[in-house]
Structure 1
């Protein structure tokens, strides 16, 4: 394993950030190259724990001569966000200096323009240098995994339709309960990688066999446990074996049928974003992973505590899988409560891009 650090100068005198990068060298030029990062939203830490345990397995594979493809790991991709706290709580999702999401505004370039990402880098702000550096590293690989998590959530992923259903092996290896098929129209990291993969030169491809750019949502923010992290690391290792990155006797290459993903894989227009219609204290009646029927009670919001008429009931408008739930127990009007995965298209007014800011 090779360890290096990328130094990112701060925007004020005397400040700099260090980005650790771990590289495992394969011995087969034709094998896929892999890039994985975690904690781009600095307060989303399940992926950091998963990559910690995956590195144990990669070190062993490298030492045994079982590593075919190069693997680059950035276990904490956002040292800038990790240092930003407000009243004792790490913010992580939004840059306090420029009020932008750390997982938005990545440059949209073709694969042939990869080298341009590092041109005149010293003229950019620290956050833009970080984003350009991460994207440049990722575009040197064929398989790119960006590890995130939701608030309270089942295991799921955002995958551009250009990589589906080939990416069903990853969904199965990680025992995902759902896949959200994205349209590739945002400036999030994974979609910026996908943008380049689909536009390797001036032409655009609808499908990109052998390549992958995916955002993996590793359950919820509080789901940072040794057992789940090790299990997910094992799942990623199985995926690497299946894709020919690792040769492993203990985890032989599984047949695609054995890695078949059986959960729902639906476009973003099939995701019902359940939002609070009244402010107040939330009492949930349904948990993540539940299948709900239209008309079932999802949550009671106590709008006027102590008053007989002081509640508002939120009911499911459609049948589906509760994929996510807010961890907040006090909500404002319009706050997100749940994402429900539905069989049919239910949204006709969604702008292309992501579901949330």
Structure 2
């Protein structure tokens, strides 16, 4: 395993950021190569824990000549966000300087222009330098995995329709309980990777990308960071690497993905109509029927008509839930995966900011 660091100068005197990069060299030039990163939202650590244990397995395979394709791993992809705290709370989702989501505003370029990402880096602030260098590394691979997590959540993924159903092997290997088929219309990291491949010929969009994959994996919730889950997920990712011919393991068997795979339009986002204390009646993993009681918002405690009841807009699977119990007006409470499109209109791109 080769370990290097990318140094990112800070925007004020005396500061800099260090980005460790782990590389395993493949023995077979015909094998796919893969780029994996975690904690782009710095407080989302299930992926970092997964990669810690996966690297143990990869080092063993390396000693035995079992690494076939090049593997690049960035286990903590956002040192800038990891250093941000406000009154003791980590603020790793948004850059406090620009108020931009660390997983938005990645450059949308053609793969032909990949090297331009790292030209004249001194012209960019630290957050943009970070994004450009992450994207540059990812575009050198065939397969790209961006490991995130939700708040309280089942295991699921955002996968561009251009990679489906070929990506079902990843969903099966990681025991995902749902796949959300995205439209590729945002500037999030995995969609910026897909954009570069789709527009390999500038101005000409490819709708299918055989042999390629760019995915956001949601590894359950923020609190699901423990050795049992991390080792379980590392084993799942190992199975995927073996099935794709990136590592050698003839004992690995593959299974079929059995969960729902639905467009983002089929996701119902349950929002609080008013602020207050939320009392949940259903939790992640529950299957609910249309009209079923989901939650109560206590808006004016102790007063007549001081609460609001919320009900399921359609049949579906409760995929995520907020861990907050004091919620703001229009705050997201739940995501429910349904079999039909939501009646709520959705703009192209990601579900949330």
What is the rounded CA distance, in whole Å, between the counterparts of 1:108 and 1:30 in structure 2?
Answer: 28
Contact 1:168–1:259 (8 Å) recurs in 2: no
What is the rounded CA distance, in whole Å, between the counterparts of 2:109 and 2:64 in structure 1?
Answer: 38
Other-structure match for 2:169? 169
Aligned residue pairs: how many? 352
* Partner SS for 1:259: coil
Other-structure match for 1:188? 188
Other-structure match for 2:77? 77
Q: How far is 1:312 from its partner? A: 1.1
Report runs of 4+ in structure 1 exceeding 6 Å deviation.
none
Q: How far is 1:351 from its partner? A: 1.1
What are the equivalent positions in structure 2 for 1:6-25 lying under 5 Å apart?
6-25=6-25
What is the rounded CA distance, in whole Å, between the counterparts of 2:198 and 2:146 in structure 1?
Answer: 18
Q: How far is 1:248 from its partner? A: 1.0
What are the equivalent positions in structure 2 for 1:203-352 lying under 5 Å apart?
203-249=204-250, 251-252=251-252, 254=253, 258-347=254-343, 349-352=345-348
Contact 1:275–1:337 (8 Å) recurs in 2: yes
Q: How far is 1:201 from its partner? A: 2.5
* Partner SS for 1:200: coil
Q: How far is 1:113 from its partner? A: 0.7
Q: Deviations over 1:133-154 (max 9, x none)?
A: 0000000000000000000000
Contact 1:185–1:191 (8 Å) recurs in 2: yes
What are the equivalent positions in structure 2 for 1:54-65 lying under 5 Å apart?
54-65=54-65
What is the rounded CA distance, in whole Å, between the counterparts of 1:296 and 1:98 in structure 2?
Answer: 41
* Partner SS for 2:231: helix
What is the rounded CA distance, in whole Å, between the counterparts of 1:298 and 1:292 in structure 2?
Answer: 8
What are the equivalent positions in structure 2 for 1:83-162 lying under 5 Å apart?
83-162=83-162
What is the rounded CA distance, in whole Å, between the counterparts of 1:198 and 1:236 in structure 2?
Answer: 25
What is the rounded CA distance, in whole Å, between the counterparts of 1:293 and 1:146 in structure 2?
Answer: 33
What is the rounded CA distance, in whole Å, between the counterparts of 2:5 and 2:190 in structure 1?
Answer: 22
What is the rounded CA distance, in whole Å, between the counterparts of 1:128 and 1:36 in structure 2?
Answer: 19
Q: Deviations over 1:82-101 (max 9, x none)?
A: 00000001010000011000
What is the rounded CA distance, in whole Å, between the counterparts of 1:274 and 1:348 in structure 2?
Answer: 10
Other-structure match for 1:2? 2
* Partner SS for 2:224: coil
TM-score (norm 2): 0.98
Q: Kindly tell me: are residues 348 and 282 of structure 1, through their superposed partners in 2, closer, same or farther at Cα, counting changes over 3 Å?
A: closer
Q: Deviations over 1:52-93 (max 9, x none)?
A: 011011111111001100000000000000000000010100
* Partner SS for 1:309: coil
* Partner SS for 1:49: helix
Q: How far is 1:348 from its partner? A: 6.1
What is the rounded CA distance, in whole Å, between the counterparts of 1:131 and 1:264 in structure 2?
Answer: 32
What is the rounded CA distance, in whole Å, between the counterparts of 1:259 and 1:197 in structure 2?
Answer: 28
Other-structure match for 2:350? 354
Unmatched segments (≥5 aa) in structure 2:
none
Q: How far is 1:340 from its partner? A: 0.3
What is the rounded CA distance, in whole Å, between the counterparts of 1:275 and 1:38 in structure 2?
Answer: 28
Other-structure match for 2:68? 68
Q: Kindly tell me: are residues 348 and 117 of structure 1, through their superposed partners in 2, closer, same or farther at Cα, counting changes over 3 Å?
A: same
What is the rounded CA distance, in whole Å, between the counterparts of 2:245 and 2:200 in structure 1?
Answer: 23
What is the rounded CA distance, in whole Å, between the counterparts of 1:139 and 1:120 in structure 2?
Answer: 18
Q: How far is 1:349 from its partner? A: 2.5
